[in-house]
Amino acid sequence: MKNKVLSVISLIICLFVLASCAQNPPKDTSKATAAVTGAQTVADNTLPDTFPAETTGEIAAADTEKATEPPTTEAPANPYGIFTYNPKVNVNVTSPYCILINAKTNEILYTNCDVNEKIYPASITKLLTAIIALKYGDPQTVYTPGDELTLLAADSSRAYIKAQHSLTLEMLIEAMMLPSGGDAAYVVAAGIGRIIAKNESLTGVEAVAVFVGEMNKYAEEHNLTGSHFTCPDGYHDDDHYTTLLDIMTISRYALDEPIIMKYAGRYRDDVRYASGHKNTWTNTNTLLDSDSPYYYENAIGLKTGTTDEAGYCLVSAAALGTKEVLAGVFAAPKSGTRFTDSRTLLVAGMIAAQ
């Protein structure tokens, strides 16, 4: 009887314990379950309706990282501007800044220097002056010099244009190309500066300032970031500078201007101004002179430049059949060196050009 009573008591105690567990369940593990479930759902790219507060930020951040596209790196800008670098030529030249370009494909076939290093363009600046003049002016418009001639340095190269002379814009461009007339460059700058400003009452000095502003605007628009200009003729100023790449870009554009090329490739001309005055101009580029030891029969231009600071410079071009090449030689130690190096480059370019 005693054992029976104990068994009943034990049964009652077990039933009591079971009832207590039903009313007070063990510690909730649903948070961990939800976190796991949420992570699996994110992995499946389907967000659950709700997340436990402690994990929402972490899981949302993980989802953001998944949804965000990886950062992209832009391709670097072409350091050669309109040109591509495709060396095909190996030559011996003396001048420190040399370059050879296939003008049909705009490939740089050879260079011996940093093409973005600062150099001085000297009178090769006149190519840009001519380009801007033809952009705004009619080649047959007649211009008469004014006070802008007072801006010409005493030792500048001249076409010997005087105040009483009158010349068409086309003839002024010839005066810049052949004898490298700084006087012609200033007459052009004054006349075109008034057109740009739409103000015919500007003095020559004021109009030249407008024109120089347009030169720098052109440089900016054509991404000539290594250049700054202070005058239309290239007379030395420490703040008048360029790079080999920039000046060759300008020269390449000049090749596409028929009036510039008409005169850049002419060695000598007897001229008569609109005012009736006569003159004879001779090109400073002796690659065009059949009597010169530097003569090159395929040469078609382009422009010389010389100052103490710039050295002896020449941008030259040659053409044969469908081939056309452009060479730049800057800071040559002697005048003859620029012609020798230029001829070497042009000949090699003709062989390499396709």
- Token pair recorded at residue 60: 């949302």
Q: Where are the beta strands (DSSP E) in the chain?
A: 84-85, 97-102, 107-111, 118-119, 142-143, 167-168, 242-243, 268-272, 278-282, 299-307, 311-320, 323-332
- The pLDDT value recorded for residue 80 is 72
Greatest CA separation for the chain: 154
Q: Under DSSP, is residue 278 helix (H, G, I), strand (E, B) or coil?
A: strand
Beta bridge partners of 167: 143
Read off φ and ψ for residue 44, nearest 5 degrees.
-85, 5
Angle at 90 between CA 85 and CA 91, to 5 degrees: 120
- The pLDDT value recorded for residue 176 is 98
Q: What is the pTM of this model?
A: 0.78
Neighbour count for residue 309 (Cβ, 10 Å): 13
Residue showing tokens 């007072």: 150
Gyration radius (Cα) of the chain, Å: 39
- Rounded Cα gap, residues 172 and 132, in angstroms: 13
Evaluate whether 235 touches 182 at the Cβ level (below 8 Å): yes
Which candidate, 11, 20, 59, places its Cα nearest to that of 39? 59
Give Cα 237 to chain centroid, integer Å: 22
- The pLDDT value recorded for residue 81 is 80
pLDDT in tens, the chain (354 residues): 444 444 444 544 444 444 444 444 444 433 333 333 333 333 333 333 333 333 323 323 333 333 334 444 444 445 678 999 999 999 999 999 999 999 999 999 999 999 999 999 999 999 999 999 999 999 999 999 999 999 999 999 999 999 999 999 999 999 999 999 999 999 999 999 999 999 999 999 999 999 999 999 999 999 999 999 999 999 999 999 999 999 999 999 999 999 999 999 999 999 999 999 999 999 999 999 999 999 999 999 999 999 999 999 999 999 999 999 999 999 999 999 999 999 999 999 999 996
Evaluate whether 144 touches 174 at the Cβ level (below 8 Å): no
Q: Under DSSP, is residue 46 helix (H, G, I), strand (E, B) or coil?
A: coil
Q: Under DSSP, is residue 3 helix (H, G, I), strand (E, B) or coil?
A: helix
Going from N- to C-terminal start, the domains of the chain cover 29-72, 84-352
Angle at 327 between CA 324 and CA 330, to 5 degrees: 165
- Rounded Cα gap, residues 10 and 83, in angstroms: 100
Q: What is the CATH number of domain 84-352?
A: 3.40.710.10
- DSSP code for 150: G
Q: Which one-letter amino acid corresponds to residue 45?
A: N
